[in-house]
Chain A
Amino acid sequence: MSVLPFLNWLGSSALANAMNGPEWAFPVVECFHFFGFALLIGTIAIVDLRLLGGGMRRQSPAELTQDLKPWTLSGLALMLTTGPAMFAADPKVYYFNPSFRFKIACLLVAILYHFTVLRRAVKPDVPPVVGKLAAVISLALWIAVVGGGRMIAFV
């Protein structure tokens, strides 16, 4: 099945029309996308920095993960609603954009990594060096997601 009919349908859907209607719609949704990734990546960064031995050192990585979980998940939820809305504004542009594809690939890996590897790396019995490595990979993945997102408009 070709994906083009779906992209065409999405591009003329009510959601696309709403995003492309009022001139403020897109930038405002984009800002909520930024709020979402600040929540998501900011809270993940606090845990990653802790694994690397910085920031909130008086708490354990597991405690921080638990504390920040609702906010990390809220950020993710905000990203995963505003992101598709922005995609709907111009489905074909994004679909064929190499930087978008790179970003989505990194995003899928980053989410998967977060809920499998990183979740285990914060446990107390994990050797510090493994935790550090896990944190560096996590940060690198999220940096790639943001960087790829920024490059969409420039490739």
Chain B
Amino acid sequence: MQTRSAIVLSAAALILAGVPAWAHHAFAAEFDAKKPVHFRGTVTKVELINPHAWIHIDVKNPDGAVVNWMFEAGSPNVLLRRGFTKASVAPGTEVIVDGYQSKDGSNRANGKDITLPDGRKLFLGSTGTGAPDEEKK
């Protein structure tokens, strides 16, 4: 019995020892469905990386200040299959992005759709991000 308690205690200690600030991939945990965002901006960087791609865009606020926003997108696997490549959103491209802001109020959002300069609209999320209206797609 002693060894068993030792295991349980050690496991608990291990869990508590490493509790940094984590990002979570579940929509409901990280993003706020009540905070939809809609921006027109210029792509500054695209990280087409596993498991989630990130698109960074510079957005000009009404007061003239430029703010950088990060949009989380699906995995390279889903994006590439939809015809989304690094070239289609090269830095400098003017895009319109729709999404939902993160719960912590930072300039990060879950990307829903991106509209490219040629008018093409691409769905950004994974299959079923849990974002509102997802089930209608």
Contacts and interface: CB of A to CB of B under 8 A. Distances in A.
Q: Do A and B come from one complex?
A: yes
Interface of A: 4, 11, 16, 19-20, 23-24, 26-28, 89-90, 92-98, 153-155
Interface of B is mostly: loop
B73 to A, nearest CB: 13
Contacts of B29: 19-20, 23, 26, 89
Contacts of A92: 128, 130, 134-135
B14 to A, nearest CB: 10
B13 interface: no
Contact of B134 (A23, A28, A96, A153): A96
A139 to B, nearest CB: 26
Nearest to A22: B19
Given A92-B134, A96-B135, A20 B128 contact: no
Interface residues of B, number: 23
Interface string B25-49: 1111100000000000000000000
B24 interface: yes
Contacts of A153: 25, 51, 75, 126
Contact of B24 (A11, A23, A95, A154): A23
A155 B27 CA distance: 16
B135 A4 contact: yes
Contact of B126 (A19, A24, A89, A155): A155
30 contacts: A16-B28, A19-B26, A20-B26, A20-B28, A20-B29, A23-B23, A23-B24, A23-B29, A26-B26, A26-B29, A28-B15, A90-B26, A90-B27, A90-B28, A90-B130, A92-B128, A92-B130, A93-B26, A93-B27, A93-B126, A94-B128, A96-B134, A97-B126, A97-B128, A98-B127, A153-B75, A154-B51, A154-B78, A155-B77, A155-B126
A2 to B, nearest CB: 10
A154 B80 CA distance: 11
Contacts of A27: 22
B21 interface: yes
Contacts of A20: 24, 26, 28-29
Contacts of B21: 23
